[in-house]
Structure 1
Amino acid sequence: MGRTISQKFNTAFLQDTNKLNKFKIVLSNKFQAFHDLLNGEGTTVESNWKGIKEAKKGDLSNCVNYRGITLLSIPEKVFNRVLLNRMKDCVDAQLRDQQAGFRKDRSCTDQIATLWIIVEQSIEWKSSLYINFIDYEKAFDSVDRTTLWKLLRHYGVPQKIVNIIQSSYDGLHCKIVHGGQLTKSFEVKTGVRQCCLLSPFLFLLVIDWIMKTSTSEGKHGIQWTSRMQLDDLALLSRTQQQMQEKTNSVAAASAAVGLNIHKGKSKILRYNTACTDPITIDGEDLEDV
């Protein structure tokens, strides 16, 4: 706890000595509250740690472009770092090797390089290859929280930490900025919080479970079954039938946790294939590119 509170003080905002001292005093006052929560002496997170959401993105006349942005207080950011440090090491060892998003010593560049090598080898050896680039619709906002709490326990996260995280989401409300004014608040019952330190980690568990569930029955096609960068998935197969089966399986597992595949943004790549039958989701063809 002490290491977390003392880290990253050398920021632009905290170069001012007076601001730095005031900041340390605030954190010190919250230290006991953090300690009580982590030791199971309390499971209720202060309401002002939960933040407010403001929806703003893209064309403001189109509601589809709106996203919630969670404005967290500094004490909650520090506390979330403590929780993340206590969870990530034991959980990381259980995640699939194909997942590179928000993991130590892994990067999107490695995933791109691996995928490029697979494509090059397919072209060189004239072997068929299907790639389905899957995109989720409002991924962070759609996760079913009841399932998320179960997955945290499934991956071995201590119950007291699960209770703390769940408490931080209980009673979470959102306000919309319209015409320079805030609307009345309304409760948000699904999804993980945008701009929260824990959200990528929580979402990793959801995606990992989806892929483990949807690819557990048998091995299809080439050795590399998929490449993953958080919620950006690339399914790989050698035949149209195998790709359709994988796509159906991933779509079903995703729906079970509240996620929907964006049919308009998911794309199919084909190399050295004679079959032109489309890959579909719920009867809708995915575009070939």
Structure 2
Amino acid sequence: MGKRKRQQPVIIIDIDHTTTGHGSRNELEESENVKNFQLVSPSMSGTSPVRRRKRTRKVGCNSAIPVQKRKLDSGAFEYCFQNLWRSSPEEKKIHFTYLDCLWFSLYLKASHRRKVLKWIKDKQIFSKKYVFVPIVCWSHWSLLIFCHFDERPESKTRKPCMLLLDSLQEANPRRFEPEIRKFVLDIFKEDGKCKNLNVICKIPLMVPKVPQQKNGDECGKFVLYFIHLFMEAAPAKFRIKDYPYFMKENWFTADGVCQFYKKFGRSDEVVCL
């Protein structure tokens, strides 16, 4: 038998059930560099992806489902997000836009970086007050929000800033800060929005202490709920001195997440345990 090739570290993403309308998604599916992985709990995965045996967890009295069934892949995330987006009032949506949930992960791969930056440029994010950037990387979902990128970075009245909402603080959300800052810098450079790159590097990145998940399977649903509630409560002018506004540890309850996903999520998925 030939020698087995040593596996290289990979960014854990799942494009098995993606149904987004972006034409770029077909390109991703055809790329040999983008592989289909099942999301696993960050508390179990360590620093590299591992395969786990299927286990079952009882639901109610007599039923049982595979644990893997409960994990939120990018297809389920996109399904729920699009339901949420369609149901949001137009007067709210006019101030928001969003990036595909796979784009940040793909940006981290040099072979996809140029394409991702082009797709983002086409989104015209600098015309919106708020931009949602879902992040799924190393088995965990979190939410990056660009605030007031429609303003000049040098602005004295309404400064651009970034929020990173993470339902698993113990995973150290700021571990992504170097990649996030490079990502933002490249976005500005691609668009030609600002010539003073030193100013862009100083855009504040804030990590509020938001409600925390109870297990390793809930992070994607928390991100969707973060988006929903942020759209409802985001101020017309996000001022750093008033931070964190409504984004606090008691912002919402676990039951709120459950009821939200029952309304917008896929009916074939288990929501509450």
TM-score by structure 1 length?
0.30
Q: Looking at both structures, which has the greater relative contact order when contacts are Cα pairs under 8 Å and sequence separation is at least 6?
A: 1
Greater fraction helix:
1
